Each structure stands twice: as C-alpha cells, then as structure tokens.
Structure 1
Amino acid sequence: MAAQFGPPLVLRGKVAILGKSKVGKTAFREVLGDGSFPRSYNVTLGRENTVKVVPFPDRNIQVELHLQECGGNIAGATDTQTNTVAHSQTVDSVCKGTSCFVLMYDVSDPDSLRELHQFLPSIDKAVEGQIPCCICLVANKNDSSTCRRVSEEDQSDFMRNRPDLQLIPFGISAMDNSGLADVCDHLALHIAQTYEQRLGELRSYVEQSYAY
C-alpha cells in the first residue's frame, strides 16, 4: 500500500431512504448513527437526517453519508389528501440532488415491496441526465424469518420491471445490526469511485488541452 500523507479527503453524499411506514427506515438510520436500536416506534414526520462516516484508508478518503429518511407522514397534515400531496413533495425534495438511494421494504409485508413503485418517478426525475446512480433494494427484518411473506422471486420480479435502474439487493436486520454495514460500504464506495472517475476525466482533459 502506498504511503498516504495528510488528513483524508472528505467526500459528502446524500442518501435518500424511501419506503412505506413501519418498514424500519428510522431503525436503519439510527443504528447506523449511534449503534442503538430504537425500542419504541415514533412516526417520522417529514424528513430526518443522520450522518454516517465510512473511511477508506487505502484511498486516504472518508465518505460522509448524509442519510435522509423520508417519513410516511407530514407534520401539520390533517387529512389524507393533504398528507399525500405533502408527502410527494417531501419525497421529491429528499431525492433532489442525490444519486444514492435506499428503497426499503419489510419481508413480512408484501405491500411494502409493491408500494416502492410509487417512489420510482421521483428517482427518475432526480437522476435524469446525471451520473450513474446507486440504488440499494433493502429487505429489512430478516430476523423474522418465520414471518417472511416476500420471496426472493417477488424481489426479482420487482427488479426485472426496472432493469435500467440496476437495483442492488441487500438483506438486513436493523434489530440485529446485520447487513447494514454492507449497504453503507456499497453506497460510500459508489461515491468514492464516482469522485475518482471524475478526477481522472478532469486530469485527462487538462493533459489533452496542454498537448495542443
């Protein structure tokens, strides 16, 4: 390994965490933040943010993942129609300016997988004309294997409907803190590699410019 000098370069990237209420988005975010699993359920209103740092010593890089959870309910929304419109606007806002996404569902709730389709238009809008995106399809609550009602084939069917998004599947248990690091490492590596690719393209452009 080549010697690295100076403090690591810090790269920051926003990650939009999307999914139906009660699939475990808050637990995912909080376990990554401070390592503790929430013992009570609190509805997330609007959006919540947690920062997770993933170091890459061999690259002398640290990636700050700004995990933005989009809640299923909006503070101040008192009727279904208002909440639906406000929620859609919040999803668009959370997705804007990011190329990293976590689509989460609960393996004991088939509807939670089907309802992920509603988030795809916001993702399409966010990544249109941008660099390749990174989308993790996360199956949560794998600790509840006896209650599993979503099969791997169901998951594959969902992925086949949108091959252009190149969804990457992960199985996790926020309760057991199992598999969460794999998701974070994948997202952080995408951000680091994207930076290195852009840097390489810039260097190549500069070298070609000076060659003339």
Structure 2
Amino acid sequence: MNDSTLSDAPTGTAGTGLEVSGLRVTYPGKPPVEAVAGVDLGVAPGQIVGLLGPSGCGKSTLLSAIVGVVEPDAGTVAWDGVDVTRTPIHQRGFGLVFQDGQLFPHRTVAGNVGFGLDMAGVAREERDERISELLDVVGLAGYGAREITELSGGQRQRVAVARSLAPRPRLLLLDEPLSALDSELRGRLAADLGEILRRFSMTAVMVTHDPREAELVCDRVVRMRDGVLL
C-alpha cells in the first residue's frame, strides 16, 4: 500500500483536524473480539498525540481504522468536519509509517522517498527537490543513491518517515515506528522524530507501548486498554 496520497490541504493549523467518534471494530471469532470498543478521539491541527498501551489493547487496530485499512463496524472518522469513514485509503490524504518501515528493497533511498510523488505524477524537478529537502531534514543528506540494504535500522526508519512526508499528508499515523530498534537508538531517534514532525507542523497519531518514547515525541498522550481509551 502507498504510504499516503498528495493532498491540497495544507498541514498545520487550518481546520479542525481529526475527529473519531464512537468507533468500533470487531474481529470474528467464538466469541467475537471487540478490538476497538466505542472510541472517541480528537486530534487538533498540528498536534502530535501518543496512543500508549500494552500489546493487544487495540492501538494498532484503531490506527488501521483511521487510515482505512480496517473498516469499522460503527462510528465515524472525520477530517476537518468531513466524514471520511467510507472514503478509500488513497483519497484520505493520510500517511502511515509501519513498525518495520516496509521499504522497497529494489529501490534506492531516493526511489523510496519519491515513490508517492511518482504515483502522483509530480514533475521530476519538483520531485527531486522534495526528496533532497526531506533527506536533509531526516539527517540523510547525500544518501539518495544508496541501496536500502546498505542502511542501518535507524536509517531505514528515517527513510520511511521521509517517504511518508513526501506527498505532504494532512495526517500522519505511526504504528510503533521505533520498536524494532535497540533502546539507545530508539531514544535518540524519538527525539529527532518529534523535531521533524514539529518542523512540518504535522498532525500525527503515534502508537507506542513506551512511555518515554511517547514523552519525547508527543504533545499529548492518551492511554488505551481493552479496546477503550482511559
């Protein structure tokens, strides 16, 4: 899946941001499992919200329902007051960063960062400028021609963040983006990630189970347990 789509809506402080109301997601089984149980969540424009909780509490399912990977059984997802619950993923203008980055191993660093721009038909000069800008922002200036296989784990996650930011998403969702890294590197990259998101006035929701990571990256932290926000 493409990380995000180009959006004419600017990132930053315009509009009302993300509004999740009464969202429910149930997985079939005997008995069925209600992974998300009537969640209400608001994220103001330019705000970075951390979704903190133990494994299996419904954090990633909630994120998946917001981005459109999972269809909710009830409730709504709205952006700037417009209901996008049934809007296809590629039309929401939301970006997603996975735990393992899910980069394309056959593409260079620049090829990965520019993927969404290529899909949107962005002109080569504009594309190259955007890639160069983002690689500089994430601390990988000069890495464009490198192969993904040549990078460390931390560098790969920086590429994943740059790739998601490239199409200028109006909302960025991060699903435990640093959990695969060792604790020392995770702390350093968490501080950098917070700075990067604030530089772009990005509205974001980050799933994590690490309170310290949430503190370093996020403006506000909400806790989740057994499918509900506490």
When normalised by structure 2's length, the TM-score is 0.33
Structure of greater relative contact order (alpha carbons < 8 Å, 6+ residues apart): 2
Q: Based on CA coordinates, which of the two structures has the bigger radius of gyration?
A: 1
- Greater helix percent: which structure? 1
